[in-house]
Amino acid sequence: MQPSVQIKGIRDGLLIILGEGAWEEIREALFGQLDQQADFLRGARLALDVGNRILKAADLGQLRDQLSDRGLSLWAVMSNSPVTEQTAQTLGLATRISKPVPDRVAPPANTTISGGEGAVLVRRTLRSGYSLKHSGNVIVIGDVNPGAEIVASGNVIVWGHLRGMVHAGAEGDENAVVCALDLAPTQLRIAGLIAITPKRRGKPQPEMVMVSNGQVVAELWNPKGK
Amino acid sequence: MAGKVITVTSGKGGVGKTTATANLGAALAVSGERVVCVDADIGLRNLDVVLGLENRIVYDLVDVVEGRCRLRQALIRDKRLPDLYLIPAAQTRDKSAVTPSDMVRLCNELREEHDWILIDSPAGIERGFRNAVAPADTVLVVTNPEVSAVRDADRIIGLVEAEEKGPARLLINRIRPNMVRRGDMLSAEDVLELLAIELIGMVPEDENIVTSTNRGAPIVLDGKSRAGQAFRNIARRLRGEDVPFMNMEEESFFGRLTRFIRSGG
């Protein structure tokens, strides 16, 4: 009966792996082991791997309370069963421990799309801290706020205010262009060239930026002109 | 009815999160709502000072989470408002003493007996921020009309969106109408244009805030203060009332004089 419960130290506290067997027996075995080392374990954070077991909210909730009575806090329950995962999530518990916790802040804000010369269309506002990298063209319908960045190997078109950092032709393509309805980036790069937008006078107007004779130049977009 | 959890956050420090939490809490409690303010700034607690309850602390948030006391024991009742409670932060620990799931559990328990749970978030985007945002139904982002504060607010709004907490609401604090008029300060329109989220209120700069904070008496309890009025309006908007935005311009001496003469004559 003993080996059905394994306790391991992990970076984020303790990982407990529960083996096969009836839930009541396993639970007894678990508490048996925990109580033996009660003083040593007090205050520890536990992650629980329950395998394929399907647990009801009542079971998990009761377990969590019993653990907290012993001064242990349960923060994650991992399971191969989607039902158990769901239950754990409703109780506000994590269901994955692989990722270090602080990293959770960043991932949703970064998108790297690789392969192909195709364009990616982003239909939202890119806020500070957001980074979009794409080998190909990038089209944004929305604003690019200061602190956000777009790096594309192709062209970048922003249907909105462009106030963040944009790098077009990031793999060295000097033919890449950047277009925006309101062009006021903190910094703009095309291939190996870097430009800073001068202070704007007057109303924002659609502009296109390109490299001409080794210089970054911005041109007003004028539909009647050409 | 289950209570609503509102998290007050900002990214940048010093923009008025704690002041906003204390005043919104007091304003809601004045109108008869049962309110609990939770200080999530573990290690740098302030909310207890602003509410003037520092000397009543026995148990704190970390004691509740770690099971050293029952939730009820950590609830401090305000000395003026019987419907206002505070759960103070621990001063001797740090943010890692609490996890986001601890906060979710705590707030679920608080929802049963309170109408509003206001969480005062620490500055930053790390663990403390995630602790504060995890249980939120609505996130209130506080900013000042300054480029750096707006930039941080933008980042926070992005993170709140990523957490799928629904659209955040914006509170612009410390507006100085005369500086805005001279073009020396960002106007509310400038801030809104960049952040593009729904505004819940604007609060003018008010020197009385400093005294009220030092005395530990929320400014909403002062009927004359304009900042207090602004916070009372925001509290009413939180409750679902439709309150028009207050005119930021302070009435000039002549304006008051004319009104006085008119009402007199």
Q: What is the pLDDT of residue A98?
A: 58
CA closest to A143 among chain B residues? B194
Residue B196 touches chain A, beta carbons under 8 Å? yes
pLDDT per position as a tens digit, A107-159: 445 555 544 567 899 999 999 989 899 999 999 999 999 999 999 999 999 99
Whole-number Å distance between alpha carbons of A24 and A46: 19
Whole-number Å distance between alpha carbons of B171 and B166: 16
Give me the phi and psi of B203, to 5 degrees please.
Answer: -120, 125
Its sign, for the CA torsion B100, B102, B105, B111, is negative
Contact flag A105-B65 (C-beta cutoff 8 Å): no
Interface A-B: count of C-beta contacts within 8 A: 60
Nearest chain A CA: its distance from B229 CA (Å): 32
Collapse the DSSP code of A7 into the 3-class scheme (helix H, G, I; strand E, B; otherwise coil) and give the result: strand
Q: From the candidates A60, A128, A162, A163, which should be mutated to test the interface with B, based on the most B CB atoms within 10 A? A: A128
Contact list, B151 vs chain A (CB under 8 Å): 128, 146-147
The CATH homologous superfamily to which domain A2-103 belongs is Cell-division inhibitor MinC, N-terminal domain (3.30.750.50)
CA closest to B153 among chain A residues? A128
CATH 3.30.750.50 residue spans of chain A: 2-103
Contact list, B99 vs chain A (CB under 8 Å): 45, 73, 75
Residues B98, B62 contacting (CB under 8 angstroms): yes
Q: Is B144 exposed, middle or buried (0-12, 13-18, 19+ CB in 10 A)?
A: buried
| Banded pLDDT at B231 (limits 50, 70, 90) | very high
CA closest to B130 among chain A residues? A105
Q: From the candidates B64, B155, B156, which should be mutated to test the interface with A, based on the most A CB atoms within 10 A? A: B155
C-alpha radius of gyration, chain A, whole number: 27
Q: What is the mean pLDDT of residues B206-228?
A: 93
Average pLDDT of every residue of chain A: 82
Please check the confidence at residue B120 and state whether its pLDDT lies above 90.
yes
The CB-side HSE value for A75 (13 A sphere, CA atoms) comes to 25
Q: What is the pLDDT of residue A224?
A: 66
Tokens of A153: 């190997």
| Banded pLDDT at A105 (limits 50, 70, 90) | very low
CA closest to B162 among chain A residues? A108
CA closest to A147 among chain B residues? B151
Q: What is the pLDDT of residue B232?
A: 96
Contact flag A143-B159 (C-beta cutoff 8 Å): no
Please check the confidence at residue B199 and state whether its pLDDT lies above 70.
yes
Host domain of residue B170? 4-264
| Banded pLDDT at A50 (limits 50, 70, 90) | confident
Average pLDDT of every residue of chain B: 92
Q: What is the pLDDT of residue B128?
A: 95
Nearest chain B CA: its distance from A177 CA (Å): 24
CA closest to B156 among chain A residues? A128
Contact flag A69-B196 (C-beta cutoff 8 Å): no
Collapse the DSSP code of B102 into the 3-class scheme (helix H, G, I; strand E, B; otherwise coil) and give the result: helix
Q: From the candidates B110, B150, B154, which should be mutated to test the interface with A, based on the most A CB atoms within 10 A? A: B154
Q: What is the mean pLDDT of residues B29-39?
A: 96
Q: What is the mean pLDDT of residues B130-149?
A: 96
ipTM over 0.85: no
CATH number, domain of B153, equals 3.40.50.300
CATH 2.160.20.70 residue spans of chain A: 106-220
A64 or A192, which is more confident? Answer: A192
What pTM was computed for the model?
0.69
C-alpha radius of gyration, chain B, whole number: 19
Domain A106-220 bears CATH identifier 1.20.1530.20: no
Contact list, B101 vs chain A (CB under 8 Å): 75, 91-94
Angle between helix axes B208-215 and B226-238 (nearest 10 degrees) is: 70
Please check the confidence at residue B134 and state whether its pLDDT lies above 60.
yes
Whole-number Å distance between alpha carbons of B52 and B32: 20
Q: Position A21: which residue type?
A: G
Q: From the candidates B5, B64, B101, B110, which should be mutated to test the interface with A, based on the most A CB atoms within 10 A? A: B101
| Banded pLDDT at A3 (limits 50, 70, 90) | low
Residue B177 touches chain A, beta carbons under 8 Å? no
Residues B46, B40 contacting (CB under 8 angstroms): no
Tokens of A101: 């916790």
Could you give the number of structural domains in chain B?
1
Contact flag A147-B157 (C-beta cutoff 8 Å): no
Angle between helix axes A57-69 and A23-36 (nearest 10 degrees) is: 10
pLDDT per position as a tens digit, B144-164: 999 999 999 999 999 998 888
Residue B102 touches chain A, beta carbons under 8 Å? yes
Please check the confidence at residue A200 and state whether its pLDDT lies above 60.
yes
Collapse the DSSP code of A109 into the 3-class scheme (helix H, G, I; strand E, B; otherwise coil) and give the result: helix
